[in-house]
Chain A
Amino acid sequence: AAGVIQSPRHLIKEKRETATLKCYPIPRHDTVYWYQQGPGQDPQFLISFYEKMQSDKGSIPDRFSAQQFSDYHSELNMSSLELGDSALYFCASSFVNTEAFFGQGTRLTVV
């Protein structure tokens, strides 16, 4: 069965650079979520989209933005990267009000 696909799996960036993470949800899922998990932390909700519109917003820094495109894939754009942005970034998708399925994550390292 198709799962949530995230790319890239690993990314190394320098401070103040930008990064773009991509997420391809499970087909026919209409909701996409982004989570950030720092070392030893629980996943923190960043932002979600329902039918290509932002549906909920969590602890997403102003330096980050995200969108969901017409084909339902989503991108998380991160600018002015800081060392503290180093984390695992997970995307999840669901059919509204059902369980969310997670991708394998993108490990971002800011040096």
Chain B
Amino acid sequence: DQQVKQNSPSLSVQEGRISILNCDYTNSMFDYFLWYKKYPAEGPTFLISISSIKDKNEDGRFTVFLNKSAKHLSLHIVPSQPGDSAVYFCAARGHGAGSYQLTFGKGTKLSVIP
């Protein structure tokens, strides 16, 4: 059973516009959420994270929003750039000892069109 779901396998956006990537989770024990960006044949690169005590975290062009009641988070990239084209993974982690594993979604492939 997929505990972290990214329902859009792909997304195309024009350069300069906003990219919105969505993620839903089912495990209410998750309290820390991360977004990773991955290029082919490379390891995932950490982008931004958010703790469940917050509803928004911003870092430059990247903003993550968390709606805990809906068990939903989203990553906004604005403005989108061609170099942002990659697969974006949402990941979640539980709280407390023995909960260090990250559970990943299946990823969303973002294509930013020049």
Binding site for B on A (CB under 8 A): 4, 6, 31, 33, 35, 41-45, 48, 50, 55-56, 58, 88, 90, 92, 94, 96-97, 99-105, 107
- Chain B interface mostly: loop
Binding site for A on B (CB under 8 A): 32, 34, 36, 41-46, 49, 89, 97-107
Name the residue on A nearest B4 (C-beta).
A42
Name the residue on A nearest B9 (C-beta).
A40
Name the residue on A nearest B46 (C-beta).
A99
Q: Which of A41, A45, A104, A105 contacts B101 (CB 8 A)?
A: A45
* 30 A-B pairs in the complex with CB atoms less than 8 angstroms apart: A4-B43, A33-B100, A33-B102, A35-B104, A41-B106, A42-B89, A42-B104, A43-B44, A43-B102, A43-B104, A45-B102, A45-B104, A48-B100, A55-B98, A56-B99, A56-B100, A56-B101, A90-B43, A92-B43, A92-B44, A97-B32, A99-B49, A100-B34, A100-B102, A102-B44, A102-B45, A102-B46, A104-B43, A105-B41, A105-B42
Kindly list chain A residues whose C-beta atoms are within 8 Å of the C-beta of B46: 99-102
Kindly list chain A residues whose C-beta atoms are within 8 Å of the C-beta of B102: 33, 43, 45, 92, 100
